[in-house]
């Protein structure tokens, strides 16, 4: 299918109706949220977590959100906070508290967490991650990462790889968020057989087609744990774990009119157009990577998370990096839509 025209891609935000509705339910009013900071606690445990718990495990399961029958405020601009690679079991309580304070002070339209909630998929790590999520604003869209699949417990890894994620974090492995301005679809790329690497399946692409109708002119976002594009300067490095099935996925993303991809996995924050790595791709799609927000497992970069501002013809990606006392903006990239292509300023 040919790309949608610039006029079509630009029309949705201007013509959006006045009623906002989202598919993810919201939990307790934010007046109930409180956080004891800093969070002194043992390794692998989050101390200072206050109740009520949004994800109380009912019959061994947990819901993504608890409904209070409200919707996000209507506005043409949408904001997304993108966290990734929390790795409970190696979390830094000071950083966890700082992220929670930031998000409580300025709640986004949507919170996205793109996988690796735990370090080794253990119960106590999932319980700590669940408790932490209750301190963050909703609505939330969450997906698993490869570290949420057991590595050394081989029987569980192949027989029930994401049972603990389903019980503690979310039953839905491919969640969808909708309001009048944006549609965000999460895809689980964690796999048992190729534990470190990830993949998008044909069945997931079929569901994605059903979720994103080409005639729907809302801003469209796809969230995966594994990235579509490598970090700048590492294009020839075969060790970079890009998501499997990317070529087939990009064909579907082209057809569906997707604008933005969010991912993690590499603990490295960067952004770029997918066409720089996939020249056959017909559509300009921005891929934004988030670093590790609160884990001590940093690699070449300090802890960070992304704050995104989305309009029909404008994307702002702000990387907020830990400077020793707070998360502060260190890089801001603006993309403008020109002739059906996203161009960095």
- DSSP conformation letters of 83-103: E----BTSB-HHHHHHHHHHH
- 37: pLDDT strictly greater than 50: no
Neighbour tally for 63: CB within 10 Å: 16
The predicted pLDDT at position 316 comes to 98
- 74: pLDDT strictly greater than 80: no
pLDDT, mean of residues 167-183: 96
The predicted pLDDT at position 153 comes to 63
pLDDT, mean of residues 53-73: 35
**Of 168, 20, 166, 189, which is closest to residue 88 (Cα–Cα)?**
168
Residue ranges covered by each domain of the chain: 6-344
pLDDT, mean of residues 219-226: 97
- 133: pLDDT strictly greater than 50: yes
- 58: pLDDT strictly greater than 50: no
- Per-residue pLDDT tens over the stretch 187-217: 999 986 665 678 999 999 999 999 998 778 8
- Per-residue pLDDT tens over the stretch 75-85: 589 999 999 99
- 234: pLDDT strictly greater than 80: no
> For domain 6-344, which architecture applies?
4-Layer Sandwich (3.60)
Tell me which of 110 and 62 has the higher pLDDT.
Answer: 110
Tell me which of 151 and 271 has the higher pLDDT.
Answer: 271
Min mean pLDDT across 8-22, 160-174, 190-204, 259-273 is at 8-22
- Per-residue pLDDT tens over the stretch 272-311: 999 999 988 889 999 999 999 999 988 789 999 999 999 9
Mean pLDDT over each residue of the chain, to the nearest integer? 80
Tell me which of 181 and 34 has the higher pLDDT.
Answer: 181
- Please give the Cα distance from 274 to 232 (Å, whole number): 12
Question: In this prediction, what percent of the chain has a pLDDT beyond 70?
Answer: 72
69 three-state secondary structure: coil
Local confidence band at 155 (pLDDT 50, 70, 90 cut-offs): low
- Please give the Cα distance from 282 to 87 (Å, whole number): 36
* The most confident of 66-80, 122-136, 192-206, by mean pLDDT: 122-136
């Amino acid at each position: 299918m040919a790309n949608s025209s610039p006029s079509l891609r630009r029309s949705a935000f201007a013509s959006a109706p006045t009623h906002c509705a989202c598919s993810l339910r919201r939990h307790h009013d934010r007046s109930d949220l409180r956080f004891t900071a800093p969070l002194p606690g043992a390794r692998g445990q989050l101390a200072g977590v206050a109740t009520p718990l949004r994800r109380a495990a009912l019959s061994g399961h947990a819901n993504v959100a608890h409904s209070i029958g409200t919707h996000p405020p209507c506005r043409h601009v949408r904001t997304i906070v993108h966290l990734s690679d929390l790795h409970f079991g190696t979390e830094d309580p000071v950083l966890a508290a700082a992220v929670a304070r930031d998000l409580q002070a300025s709640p986004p339209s949507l919170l996205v967490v793109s996988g690796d909630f735990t370090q080794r998929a253990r119960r106590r790590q999932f319980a700590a991650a669940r408790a932490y999520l209750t301190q963050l604003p909703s609505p939330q869209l969450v997906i698993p990462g490869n570290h949420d699949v057991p590595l050394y417990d081989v029987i569980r890894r192949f027989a029930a790889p994401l049972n603990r994620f389903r019980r503690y974090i979310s039953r839905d492995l491919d969640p969808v968020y909708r309001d009048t301005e944006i549609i965000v679809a999460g895809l689980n790329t964690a796999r048992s057989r190729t534990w470190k690497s990830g993949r998008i399946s044909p069945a997931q692409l079929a569901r994605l087609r059903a979720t994103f109708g080409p005639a729907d002119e809302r801003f469209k976002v796809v969230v995966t744990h594994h990235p579509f594009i490598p970090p700048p300067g590492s294009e020839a490095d075969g060790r970079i774990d890009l998501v499997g099935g990317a070529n087939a996925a990009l064909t579907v993303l082209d057809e569906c009119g997707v604008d933005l991809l969010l991912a993690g996995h590499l603990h490295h924050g960067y952004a770029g157009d997918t066409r720089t790595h996939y020249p056959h791709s017909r559509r300009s799609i921005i891929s934004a990577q988030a670093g590790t927000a609160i884990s001590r497992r940093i690699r070449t970069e300090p802890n960070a998370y992304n704050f995104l501002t989305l309009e029909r013809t404008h994307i702002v990606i702000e990387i907020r990096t830990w400077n020793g006392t707070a998360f502060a903006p260190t890089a801001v990239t603006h993309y403008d839509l020109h002739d059906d292509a996203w161009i960095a300023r």
